[in-house]
Amino acid sequence: MPDSDLSLDAPGAEEVQVIPWPLLLRRRVAQRVKASSRYPWLVLVTVLLGLFSVGFTITILAVSLSTIADDVGSSKTTLTWVITGPLLAFGIVGPAFGKAGDLFGQKRMYLLGMAGSALFAIGIAASWNAASLITFRVLASACGAASGPASMALIYSVFPYGRRVQAMGYWSMVGAGAPVLGVVAGGPIVEALSWRVIFLVQAPLVLFCVLLAAAVLPETERGDRVRFDVLGTVLLGIGVTSLLFALNRGPVFGWDSPIVLGGFLVAPVALTLFALWERRAPSPLLRLDYVRRRNVAAPIATQFFTNFAYMGGFIITPFMLDEVFGYGETRIGLLSISRPLTFAIVAPLSGYAAIRLGERATGVFGAAMVAISMAMLAQVDAASTDLLVIGGLALSGLGLGSSSPSMAATIANAVDERDLGIAGAAQQMMTQIGVVAGIQLMQTLQASSEDSAGLIESYQRAYLLGAAVCVLGVAAAAFVRRSPTRVRLERHKYPDVPHYEYDALHLGDDEHGSWYWAPTDNAVRRGGEELFRTAEPSLYLVPVDKPWMVWFAPRMKQLDFHLYVDVGTVPVRTRDRITMVDLDLDVVRTPDGDVRVLDEDELVAHTELYGYPPELVDHARSVTAEVVAMLERNEEPFATVWRQWEREAAEKAPTR
C-alpha cells in the first residue's frame, strides 16, 4: 500500500480524502519498536509467544488420546497417527520451508506458518471423525514446519554471534515449557469441558501472535533470484520420510515386514541420489560443504544422539512406572513433569554459561548428563523410591537443557546468513530422526527382552542402550569448536578522525597476533554510513605490538594484490573494538610476488593538510621499510601461516 492518502470517488461529489489511520499507526509502532535499544529482545519475546501458542497443545493430544478416540468414534491405535503424522510431515516439508524462508524472507514464512496453525487449530476443534482430525493435525504440523526454522532464523538475524546461544536458551525453555503447561492447565479443562476447547482457545491466541509478529519482526533479506531446488526437496523428503516411517512402524508391523524393510531400503537410495544431485544442482537445497564443517556436523550429531536417549527414555518411563510400580496416570504425570520442567529452567541459564565457558563445554556437559541419567534410570527396580526416578528424569532435563542451546547456536554461527533457515530445518530434521529412532529402538529392545530377562531388567537394558548411544553424543560434542566472537575493526585518520570501520569474527591468536575473518557481503562504513559491501571473504591479522594491520585477500581476483598492509600506529584494543590510526602508507604484494609501496603522495599531502609531526612521518617511513624487507624475505606472518587460519575460518565461520 502506498504511503499517500487513500481516496474514494463518490458520484456527483468531490474526491474524498481518507487517511489510513490503521496503517499509519502500525508503521509508527513498528518504527518506535525497531528504534529501541532492546529491539532484539522484543523480537525474541514476540517469537517465543508464537512458539508457546502453537506448542502448548502438543501434549494434550498425547495424554488425552483415549478420550479423543471415544469422542470421534475411533480407536486409540488409529489415532496414534495424530502423533506419527506430524513427524512424517516435517520430514517432507521441513527442509523445503526452511529453504523457502532463506529465499523469500523469514518473516513471510513465519507469518504464513503461524496463520496456517491458527486455521487448522479450528479444524482440529471441529473434527468429526478420525480422518479429519489426523488430516488437520498433519496440516497444522506442516505449518509449524514453516514457522519453526523461520523463528530461529529471525532470532539469529537480530542477535550478534556471541549472544545467539543466550537467545536460544530462552527459545529452548519455551519449547520445553509450553507442553508442560499444556498438561498442567489442559488436563483439568479436558476433564471438565472438552479437548476441543483447548484448540478453540488456541486459534485466537495464535492470531494475536500473528498480528504482533507482523508489527514487530524484522524483514529479512531475500535470497538471490534462483530456481527452487524441487528435485532435491523431493529426494530428501522421500529419504527422510521413508526412514521415519520405517522406524515408527517397525514395532507395529514387525521389523521384518516388507513395508518396513522397503522403507529402510528406499531411504539410503533416495538420500544417496539427493547427495549426488546436490553436488551438481545450480541452486542446491542444502550446501553439502556444510556437512564437512566441524561446527555443523558435530553439533547435529550431538543433537541426534542426545535426543535419541532423551526422548526414548521419556517415553518408556511412564510404561515402567505403570507396569513395575502400578502407578496411576496422575502420579505418573507428576513424576514425568520433572524432566521438561528442569529443561525449561536450565536452558536459559545454559545460554549465559556458554558465553563464558564456550559451546563445547556446555555441549559435552549436557550430553554427559543425559548419558548419566539413562544409567541412573537403569538402576530402578521394584524397591526403588520415586526420588530415583525424579532424579534420573531431572538429570535428563538438565543435560539436554544445557546442550541444546549451545549446539543450535554453533550451527547458526557456522553457516552463511542467507542459509540460516535451511540450517535450522536440517538441524530439526536430524533431531526428529533421533527422537523417532530412540523411541522405537528403546521400546523394541524392552519388549523383545521382557520374556527372557524379565520385566524390570528389560527396562534396564533399554535405558542402557540410551546411555550407550548418548556417549556418542558426548564424543561428538567434544569436536565442537568455540564460535568466533564479533569485533569492530576501525581505521582512523590522524589525529582521530573515523575513516573505515567493519565487523570481523575473531578466529584465534598465535605468536603473530589476533586473526579475524570478514565474510562476504560485509558492510564497510564511515561515520555509521554504509559505503559498500565486500564481494569476497577476507582474513585479517592484528599484531600485538606492531604498528600495522594485514589484509589477506587471495580470493579477490579483481584486485592486483593478494596481501595489503596498512601502516599506522599500534592498534588499541577494547573488549569489542580495535582501533588504529592509519598513516597513509600501504604495502602490497601482487600475485607475482612483487612488493610495492602505495600512497606516498597521500602521505605528503596529509602531512601538510593535517600537520603531521616530523617524528610521525619518520615513524611511518621506518615501519614501511621494515614491512617491505619482511615481505621481500617472505617472513612470517606473510609467508604461509595465514593459510592455516583461512582453513580455520572455513571450518568454524560463515563465508557470507
Note the pLDDT of residue 461: 92
Higher pLDDT, 100 or 563: 563
Lowest mean pLDDT among 252-261, 461-470, 539-548: 252-261
Q: Residue 407: is its pLDDT beyond 70?
A: yes
Lowest mean pLDDT among 48-52, 87-91, 160-164: 87-91
- Which string of DSSP letters, residue by residue, matches 478-499? TT--PPPEEEEEEEEETTTEEE
Cell output for 138: 498433519
Mean pLDDT over residues 247-256, rounded?
Answer: 80
Geometric angle at alpha carbon 403, from 401 and 408, rounded to 5°: 105
Residue with cell 522421500: 238
Note the pLDDT of residue 19: 45
Contact 485, 358 (CB under 8 A): no
Give the three-class secondary structure for 332.
helix
Q: Report the percentage of the chain scoring pLDDT > 70.
A: 85
Note the pLDDT of residue 221: 67
pLDDT confidence tier of residue 361, bands split at 50, 70 and 90: very high
Q: Residue 367: is its pLDDT beyond 90?
A: yes
38-228 maps to which CATH number? 1.20.1250.20
Contact 410, 480 (CB under 8 A): yes
- Domain residue spans in the chain? 1-35, 38-228, 229-282, 292-483, 485-652
Contact 298, 483 (CB under 8 A): no
Lowest mean pLDDT among 23-27, 92-96, 169-173, 330-334: 23-27
Per-chain mean pLDDT for the chain: 82
User: Please, which residues bridge with residue 578 across strands?
Assistant: 489, 573
The rounded distance, in Å, linking the Cα atoms of 159 and 163 is 6
Question: In the CATH hierarchy, which fold is given to the domain comprising 485-652?
Answer: FomD barrel-like fold (2.40.380)
Mean pLDDT over residues 48-64, rounded?
Answer: 75
Contact 360, 499 (CB under 8 A): no
pTM for the structure as a whole: 0.74
Q: Residue 258: is its pLDDT beyond 50?
A: yes
Surface-to-core class of residue 475, CB atoms within 10 Å of its CB (0-12 exposed, 13-18 middle, 19+ buried): middle
Mean pLDDT over residues 224-229, rounded?
Answer: 67
SS3 content of the chain, % helix, strand, coil (to 5): 65, 10, 20
Lowest mean pLDDT among 32-46, 330-344, 441-455, 557-571: 32-46
Mean pLDDT over residues 590-614, rounded?
Answer: 88
The rounded distance, in Å, linking the Cα atoms of 327 and 312 is 20
Note the pLDDT of residue 34: 58
Surface-to-core class of residue 179, CB atoms within 10 Å of its CB (0-12 exposed, 13-18 middle, 19+ buried): buried
Note the pLDDT of residue 63: 61
Contact 470, 370 (CB under 8 A): yes
The rounded distance, in Å, linking the Cα atoms of 320 and 341 is 20
CA atoms within 13 A on the CB side of 295: 24
DSSP 285: S
Note the pLDDT of residue 183: 60
pLDDT confidence tier of residue 377, bands split at 50, 70 and 90: very high
Could you read off the pLDDT of 102-154 as tens digits, one per residue? 788 888 888 998 899 889 889 988 888 888 888 888 888 888 777 888 888 88
The rounded distance, in Å, linking the Cα atoms of 21 and 34 is 20
pLDDT confidence tier of residue 16, bands split at 50, 70 and 90: very low
User: Please, which residues bridge with residue 18 across strands?
Assistant: 6
Note the pLDDT of residue 62: 61
Neighbours of 433 (CB within 10 A): 22
Note the pLDDT of residue 5: 41
User: Please, which residues bridge with residue 7 across strands?
Assistant: 17
Can you list the alpha helix ranges (DSSP code H) found in 65-194? 65-71, 76-79, 81-104, 106-125, 130-158, 164-192
Q: Residue 511: is its pLDDT beyond 60?
A: yes
pLDDT confidence tier of residue 418, bands split at 50, 70 and 90: confident
Can you list the alpha helix ranges (DSSP code H) found in 254-337? 258-280, 294-325, 329-336
Q: How many residues does the chain have?
A: 656
Contact 99, 227 (CB under 8 A): no
Please name the helix (run of DSSP H) or strand (run of DSSP E) that holds residue 11, with its range, or none.
none
Q: Residue 477: is its pLDDT beyond 90?
A: yes
pLDDT confidence tier of residue 1, bands split at 50, 70 and 90: very low
Lowest mean pLDDT among 45-59, 259-273, 292-306, 444-458: 45-59
How far CA 196 is from CA of 72, 128, 190, 209, 246, in Å, comes to 11, 11, 8, 20, 31
Domains 38-228 and 292-483 fall in the same CATH topology: yes
pLDDT confidence tier of residue 21, bands split at 50, 70 and 90: very low
Domain 292-483: give its CATH architecture: Up-down Bundle (1.20)
Q: Residue 10: is its pLDDT beyond 50?
A: no
Distance linking the first and last C-alpha atoms of the chain: 33
Q: Residue 186: is its pLDDT beyond 50?
A: yes
How far CA 85 is from CA of 134, 141, 183, 427, in Å, comes to 7, 8, 21, 19
Note the pLDDT of residue 6: 39
Q: Residue 4: is its pLDDT beyond 60?
A: no
Q: Following CA atoms 615, 620, 622, 625 in sequence, which dihedral angle do they give, to the nearest 10 degrees?
A: -160
